[in-house]
Amino acid sequence: MLNSRIVDGTEFVVFDMEWNQPIYGKEYDIDVSVLTGEIIEIGAVKYVYENGLLTKKGVFSRDIKPVIYNKIHYHVKKVTHKTNSDLARGVGFAKAYDDFVKFIGGAQVLVGWGSSDTAILKQNLKFFDMDDDLRIFFLDLQPIFSLFGDEKGKQRSVEFAVDYYGIVKNEGFHSATSDAIYTGEIFEKIFEHNKTAQVLSAISSSAIDPDIVSEYSIVGSPAKDIRTAFEGVVHFWSKCPICGKDLSSKIGRFKIRKSEYALLFCTSHGEFFARSRAKKNRDGDYYVSSVLRLATQNDYYLVACKKEEFDKFGVDGAPKVEPEKQDEN
């Protein structure tokens, strides 16, 4: 929850990053699990808010030379069209980040598409022994777009949102800078097309402090049947992961398709979004991963929508019309 109000003059920095990945089977001197992606590009656009609209103030772009994963992963190459010689032309991460912090200046909120960028940024800062506190609020624009674009609970791509608002496609996608520019234009459109008070309220209730751990997860033991697998993680939802107090239910636990949901409540820490998902391992056993996180407005909608669907259609959910994207965390 954003504690300072958005007023005329409040600045936002919309950003995007690209990162290279370790190549499977290749030997590295480091434990690759502590650096799952090494940043190779940061792109950003600064906006100032005034009177219900956003005005663009400047663009930032840095290519970064990776030092650990210095050969481009084929998947990253396919998506970004970057080559090994492109990577070699970048500046060092410390220099690029320093410039980025200067560009952010006094902005109050970082804005991204999806929640993975801040996690990767903090991971890189930690890995390179730099201060990994970002000291700025973070807003994931993807659920805000879904909320106002009548796509609640769906995870849409930047390109989908660009088409939705009829934004002119002057550049390609999947460079950090072009994606940051497009994300900024989507942000502008959200303000243009909706009531200011509603947009500000959605932003304030969805912005998070990325320096505070707000998400907790466990993976249960494998079980032969799906019910036992779910029962194995149920205890995780009984106590607040921050203070240990008993959690009460605002929306009681229910199962729809292969997931269980609930909206839980701690008297000290507020609402928690709770979701468990069953997957099958290679042996054909079920295992359940379960997450608890401080609920954003979008999380609240997600649980409320699933509950509505459950009340109407039961455990199998609504008959599917189109394949739903299921890559959210």
51's tokens: 């009177």
Q: Read out DSSP for 5-26? A: PP-TT-EEEEEEEEEE-PPTT-
Kindly tell me which of 162 and 251 has the beta carbon lying closer to Zn ion. 251
Our finding on whether 264 is near Zn ion (CB under 5 A) is: no
Q: How many residues bind Zn ion (CB under 5 A)?
A: 7
Our finding on whether 247 is near Zn ion (CB under 5 A) is: no
Residue 85: burial class (beta carbons within 10 Å; 0-12, 13-18, 19+): exposed
Asked if 292 and 217 count as a contact pair (C-beta separation under 8 A), the reply is: yes
Our finding on whether 269 is near Zn ion (CB under 5 A) is: yes
Q: Read out DSSP for 57-104? A: EEEEEEEB--SSS-S--HHHHHHH---HHHHHTSBPHHHHHHHHHHHH
Which of 139, 229, 240, 302 is close enough to bind Zn ion by CB under 5 A?
240
Which of 238, 268, 319, 320 is close enough to bind Zn ion by CB under 5 A?
268
In 3D space, the residue among 113, 111, 109, 133 whose CA is nearest the CA of residue 121 turns out to be: 133
Our finding on whether 234 is near Zn ion (CB under 5 A) is: no
Which of 243, 270, 280, 316 is close enough to bind Zn ion by CB under 5 A?
243
Kindly tell me which of 218 and 242 has the beta carbon lying closer to Zn ion. 242
Is residue 311 left, alpha or beta, with left meaning phi > 0 and alpha meaning psi from -120 to 50?
A: alpha
7's tokens: 């007023």
Q: Which residue is nearest to Zn ion (CB)?
A: 240
- Strand ranges in the chain using DSSP code E only, listed in sequence order: 11-20, 38-50, 53-63, 109-112, 137-140, 215-219, 248-256, 259-266, 270-280, 286-294
Which of 32, 242, 291, 304 is close enough to bind Zn ion by CB under 5 A?
242
Kindly tell me which of 65 and 239 has the beta carbon lying closer to Zn ion. 239
From 12-20, 186-194, 238-246, 298-306, span contacting Zn ion (CB under 5 A): 238-246
Our finding on whether 266 is near Zn ion (CB under 5 A) is: yes
Binding mask 184-223 for Zn ion (x = CB under 5 A): ----------------------------------------
Instruction: Give the Cα separation of 329 and 311 in Å (integer).
Output: 24
Could you tell me the smallest distance in angstroms from the CB atom of residue 323 to Zn ion?
38
Kindly tell me which of 170 and 268 has the beta carbon lying closer to Zn ion. 268
Could you tell me the smallest distance in angstroms from the CB atom of residue 115 to Zn ion?
22
Interacting residues toward Zn ion by CB under 5 A: 240, 242-243, 245, 266, 268-269
